[in-house]
Structure 1
């Protein structure tokens, strides 16, 4: 793979946390599958068009494992999705087992049953924000610390069986593990996270509960093919993704709505009627990370006149695909009323996000409650002045608001 152009080194500079680099639009038009250099300095293919990204997400010729892991391209210096994962020989069987174990816990029916609990959590957070604003000299509060962070954390802790009192500890581990600016400290954080999860899993083995981690520990104890280390990695991944992604989508969704006041007013006028479409548009446009989903070719794959060789790294840009002008009218515009409802915000195919129903439930409850109880909400800092986290998942460190 020959990578020569300076512009093809990831990540591409973006104007702010809500906009993507203009280069993506050029690539979709002129080079939808292009050779790039990863942030770690290795070669990869970047895929930017909607149809190609969707098709490759469901193409079994690509996987998360690598036929020769020691020769695989590295993507970042973070310790999340930095390189191949899983066993090349058993990846498909391992994935099938994982989905079978987790599907009941993350079913749409169970998420509907969880919605009352989520609304209670959200109302408690809003009550505290109202009190904080009254006491704040400038009337400004941090919606990130007061709502966007605590709600998803409380929900995933209840579902997985993680003590909520540990939230600052595992949130710090998540932050460091996904940080691509701290070098060797990122893999050390991953090791600490694994050790934390081993302690928790063994406590569940001694006293199992009605929670997902207890279910996974029980399954691993009775299935010789289910590797212990694999189980621990899955538990870490669930806890990491179960709060990180939703925290960021709440923050980005709030920014989209408050920078489009006509859409915020429309939501406050009819929260119940508009919240579902609003959440789907947030999932389409909300782009918390600058890279994409990592896959490796398990055999040669021909796409759009390009041959991706066995073992090549492939980065599927969900963010770019969701802004493809050949699929979406006024693709860069935040418009919950758009007729196009399909997006790749939760992936596609066999690896479609198993937590999609959970995320939708949380986001719908959060934005409906905000519209009902904080209709005068507005930003207290310009979007360009917000600090973006230097992590694989991105997002903002704070979200100052008032009303």
Structure 2
């Protein structure tokens, strides 16, 4: 495709945590242009906040990657094409699973889970500091483990199974290396393990709310529970881990000036979490949608059967909505965060993910206020299916 007139997506990444440089140009000059996906299919790349905000709430855009007319993101096997995945299920099944998940992770339930997040965070800091060490890898010892150990504890899964779950999750989301045969074997192991979890009779708080949902007679089948729980243990763990790692890198760069301001001013960690979600989110990934009817958006019309890519970080850095978008302003105003989707696909785990991020920031501030980077060199960032991941973060405290 050397003579292909369409630019390739993903766009070339910028250094560090910055959005790809081409997003700004496209917002100004080409807000409705097409790009070429790794599979060879094409899609319209949406880069303005107005277009993405209109798209996420539209029933005319489907997330189902198995629709006959849906383009493929890549030619390789991918968890997005799992027929049991929530977004690929029938409308009835999707509505039931989404309703159960949303109730299980509503404001009241997440508030009840906050002590668990606190205990996990403190235990991780204890493990980092109890032997007298004054430094370590914040990703390996904290940002990667806090979401994993929180969700596994809420599901009644032994902490010692965490490493296996990360291997299975990486294979399922295609975010860790391996041959297709290796990933297939690990995904099968993952499914068997999760089936044992949901049928094992655990009384753990979150699992109980999924198996026996509060305030409704609705019950999910075992297969639906397996699919939902597997999603929570994969994307539901990797997404907050990715954001927390990126958030801490952002706070600790430039001689940790933003971290020291967070400590000194006692900034509300929820406000800081929300602003960091906007600022760093997951990198240059974009969500693929297929139009099931002609759809009119502010920058153009998507024809039925056409595909769009929702470039989250471009929308979240759109200066038309967020003045000084590169600045960290924890109490900035603005519209509802578009990165959690909208409509019937609004992320049911959004409150739990935000809570993990806010508590993770707050406990580090309380326990390790002197955090700083332990290297002057570049921090490695790996482009994966779930986003641009900070793979190691050497720090001192």
Q: Which category describes the TM-score, using the shorter chain as reference length?
A: 0.7 to 0.9
Question: Is the Cα contact below 8 Å between 1:297 and 1:312 reproduced in 2?
Answer: yes
Residue deviations 1:225-281, cap 9 Å, x none?
96655443322112112211111111111111112533222211243x432221111
The aligned residue for residue 174 of structure 2 is: 179
Secondary structure of the equivalent of 2:338? coil
Structure 1 residues 102 and 82: alpha-carbon distance in aligned structure 2, compared to 1, 3 A threshold:
closer
Q: Equivalent of 2:152, from 152, 157, 166?
A: 157
Mapping of residues 217-256 of structure 1, within 5 Å? 229-256=223-250
- Residue 21 of structure 1 and its aligned partner are, at CA, apart by 1.0
- Residue 64 of structure 1 and its aligned partner are, at CA, apart by 1.6
Q: Equivalent of 2:258, from 250, 254, 263?
A: 263
Question: Is the Cα contact below 8 Å between 2:62 and 2:289 reproduced in 1?
Answer: yes
- Residue 56 of structure 1 and its aligned partner are, at CA, apart by 0.6
Partner Cα separation in structure 2 for residue 129 and residue 296 of structure 1:
46
Mapping of residues 124-139 of structure 1, within 5 Å? 124-131=123-130, 134-135=132-133, 139=134
Question: Is the Cα contact below 8 Å between 1:66 and 1:311 reproduced in 2?
Answer: no
Q: Structure 1, unaligned stretches of length 5 or more?
A: none
- Residue 126 of structure 1 and its aligned partner are, at CA, apart by 1.3
Q: Equivalent of 2:72, from 67, 71, 74?
A: 74
Deviates further, 176-185 or 284-293: 176-185
Deviates further, 293-302 or 82-91: 82-91
Deviates further, 388-397 or 15-24: 388-397
The aligned residue for residue 381 of structure 1 is: 375
Structure 1 residues 383 and 48: alpha-carbon distance in aligned structure 2, compared to 1, 3 A threshold:
farther
Mapping of residues 234-313 of structure 1, within 5 Å? 234-260=228-254, 261-271=256-266, 273-304=267-298, 306-313=300-307
Q: Structure 2, unaligned stretches of length 5 or more?
A: none
Secondary structure of the equivalent of 1:394? strand
The aligned residue for residue 335 of structure 1 is: 329
- Residue 319 of structure 1 and its aligned partner are, at CA, apart by 1.0
The aligned residue for residue 116 of structure 2 is: 117
Residue deviations 1:335-378, cap 9 Å, x none?
22433364323233332221121122211211112112212111
Partner Cα separation in structure 2 for residue 312 and residue 85 of structure 1:
24
Partner Cα separation in structure 2 for residue 64 and residue 345 of structure 1:
14
Partner Cα separation in structure 2 for residue 116 and residue 85 of structure 1:
32
Partner Cα separation in structure 1 for residue 18 and residue 389 of structure 2:
12
- Residue 58 of structure 1 and its aligned partner are, at CA, apart by 0.6
- Residue 128 of structure 1 and its aligned partner are, at CA, apart by 1.9
Secondary structure of the equivalent of 2:296? strand
Structure 1 residues 198 and 216: alpha-carbon distance in aligned structure 2, compared to 1, 3 A threshold:
farther
Deviates further, 120-129 or 76-85: 76-85
Structure 1 residues 173 and 300: alpha-carbon distance in aligned structure 2, compared to 1, 3 A threshold:
same
The aligned residue for residue 14 of structure 2 is: 15
Aligned length: 390
Structure 1 residues 399 and 385: alpha-carbon distance in aligned structure 2, compared to 1, 3 A threshold:
closer
Query: CA RMSD for the aligned pairs?
Result: 3.1
